[in-house]
Structure 1
Amino acid sequence: VLCNEIFLLNFVLQQALDSNLSSLIKRTSELESLMGKLIQTCQHVEVNASRQENKLLEECELLINIIQQRRQIIATKIKEGKSVRLRKLAQQIASCKQCIERSSSLISQADQTLKETDHARFLQTAKSICERVSMATASSQILLPEINLNDTFDSFALDFTREKKMLESLDYLTAPNPPAIREELCTASYDTITVHWTSDDEFSVVSYELQYAIFTSQSNVVSLCNSADSWMIVPNIKQNHYTVHGLQCGTKYIFIVKAINQAGNRSSEPGKLKTNSQPFKLDPKSAHRKLRVSHDNLTVERDETSSKKSHSQDRFSSHSSYGVTGNVYIDSGRHYWEALIGGSTWFAIGIAYKSAPKHEWIGKNSASWVLSRCNNSWVVRHNSKEMPIEPSPHLRRLGILLDYDSGSLSFYDAVGSQHLYTFDIAFAQPVCPVFNVWNRCLTILTGLPIPDHLEGTDYNN
């Protein structure tokens, strides 16, 4: 027994030692790998720092050369300005000197004439001298040079305050911090998305680049980001927002914003945004004569002025489809709209081909698919085949999701998020939204985004 215990103890210790040794060897290997990466990083730091130091010398020499060139240019301008002004002043001084010399000569002659005591000689010269003095006075007033005594070349200043501040703020440039997509500020229509983002380094960013791709429930963000072929790219954006046009309606996209400057670039975290569904309204021209369509073409109401007897009989007539269609035909994409049930207890909502009979209950033929309520009876119907469903008795808002490409039409309680039914359809023609109402009214809400809880749903009935 003692030998067995010793053997067992040795075995346990050996197993523990082997396990600990394996862990130690693995840890040592990891440390060696880490140390190798650290050494390699040190080498990169040395190389990059040397490169930056050489670049710094080059840039400083360029700055010095620019300053010297500007100094020579400005000094030349000062010399030229001085020469022009001195030349003009010298010309004006010479003109003044000539005028003074002529005036002095004439003054001397006039003085001598005035000193003449011989009246005959005075009369002989005085008239001539008087005319010359008069002419000289007049010409001096006209010919005096225009002199700008204020142009002393003191109205120019050398102010390099801004440049000095710029030089004092010189520093090495780093790549901008990653921008952040502000999903709460982003907006969308059925074919556009406006992306907004913010950046902590807004003043150091030269431009932004926006990248986007379609994102499905099967998409993998990492693999999608590594796949350059999947992305559309919008370069050289100067603002912190951009509107992308020409998108598919009812589709989710993934966006990445890249901030760029001379030192490099950094990318934001991916943001997921989606376009709204195709907007549409009711087509009044398609409405049954006993239905009224509102001025905004969003509400259809049964004309209750007809007699109750006629109303009751019409409910069961195969030729009384009190219907109205949407003003669009859909042949691709994903679309979502809702119908507000305004107290109606007798209605049908769904889609139909253009070729569907105009005066037949929708769902009674192979060209239409509907969800219908007849008082307390709820059914989905296609080609006269009905299947009962059990929605909430307080259902007041019906959601319809049409995925034309995948071939499905789904109905939901839009408030309670309850899935009611899904038709699997191999579409052969474009389809149109259709609405039948036998009492009260229905109101449609369109151009909506597909609710998040419906993204990637797959129901089979």
Structure 2
Amino acid sequence: MDSQKDALQRIIATLANKNEELHNFIETLNHTLDRVQVNSTQVVSDLEEEFDTLYSILDEMKESMTSTIKQESLRKSHELQNQLTQSTSALESAEELLEFANNALHISDEAEFSKAAKQIKDRVTMAPAFRLTMKPKATDNMTHMMVDFSQERQTLQALKFLPVPRAPEIMLIDCVVMDNEVTVSWKMPMEDNKIDHYILEYRKTNHEGLPRVKDEQCWEKLDNIRTTEHTLQGLRFDSKFMNFRVRACNKAAAGDYSDPVTLETRAFNFSFDSSSSHLNLKVEEQSVEWDPQAGKALDSKGKGKENKGSAHITNLKNMSRSGTPSPKRTSVTRSPAPRGARDRFTGESYTVLGDTSIESGQHYWEVKPQKDCKSYSVGLAYRNLGKFDQLGKTCTSWCIHVNNWLQNSFAAKHNNKAKNLDVPVPDSIGVYCDFDRGQLAFYNAENKQLLHMFKMKFTQPVVPAFMVWCGGLILSTGLQVPSAVRSFQKTENGLGGSNSSLSQQDPTVASDTICFYEKLPSVDGGSLLP
């Protein structure tokens, strides 16, 4: 009975919450409806105002042009009127002279005729009709004053009201997250050829589901996208998820955002653990560098605090020709380290671990050495790796080792056994770990060529492990397992057993017991370093 009441109370609480949500939603719809009416009225008012402005501009242009035409008409009329007056006067003089000439033809007296003829000749010479140019000073053509409104007419006819674009719909089924790239695809709810471009926004988050109002990241914007699909490249997946939303824009306005979607972008993120490093390593989050003076500085501070009977670290006895101290001749006494100093690894174990354990799943990261790096190792190890242990020389560590000092070598190492790798040393190494299948594979990070694979059974969590001497390493994390690596692992499952002579056949060997390969790191012929 009590359980039924509890269930009923939960149902009532759910219904109450849902009712409240519906009330809020109805209020939102009513508010939106009111705003639509208000906004549409405002838009009509703005449109009328805009056309009134156009009308006023046209009226001003009409008045100006009409005034110009009237002025030009007056000028031409004045010129033509003057010509008309002059021509009328000349015509009257010509008609009078013509009448006088006709009368002179009837004169019979020769002397009087000669006199009249002379007068007619002089008057003809001086007649204004013969001094007039028989061409109007102004024409009746006014076409040079006509205005060509054809372009403006076409522009006005092309004016259309552009509604605010509708919100696009992100097609979640077409979105792809692969190789640290995200392809986002969307569509418009209905075809709209007035869309000019799209704006895509994204942000990283560790919260699954819909984006939160106050999230830890701000939206980043990608503008001027001309297609309904876009790929973000070169991402670092340092968060579990990414939110995406998109809006459409025409020439007039930007539309509403689409409903946001959340895509999973999980990847293996870790940094170098400075608390687990050798004293002679300068460690930052994503880089580690060998520093031969670092340990000396800490030792000199600690000597003043130690008792007189305490053991002291001996100086390096042998120096290489280039002045670099040879790690083969380093002698270390196991005295207590000064307070605050790092003593996780010591001696020739120039090692640093990652700060994040691997307990399940598939993971991938990349390591790039500096050009002058003399010797380095990249691999995995259990956290209980001994402070004098070198990577690959115990049954609790697996690595590939590169040696560029005196003799060049490239080998895979585990349990104090080495297998030379007959491939060029890549500029950058990709590390793939499938904890559940017990696979550790190394790849050329550029072309994803397999370098070597270990197969084993992990009996406890492992951590990324690194060794560096005389040089440095750059770490790249937040990377997905590349598709080329993932497909290779699927098709070549079990390849590591046949590819590696160092594959661990007996799972019991990889136990919690550390297998020391030597008592001291300076045993001749036993050092991992050159």
More helix by share: 1
Query: TM-score if structure 2 supplies the norm length?
Result: 0.44
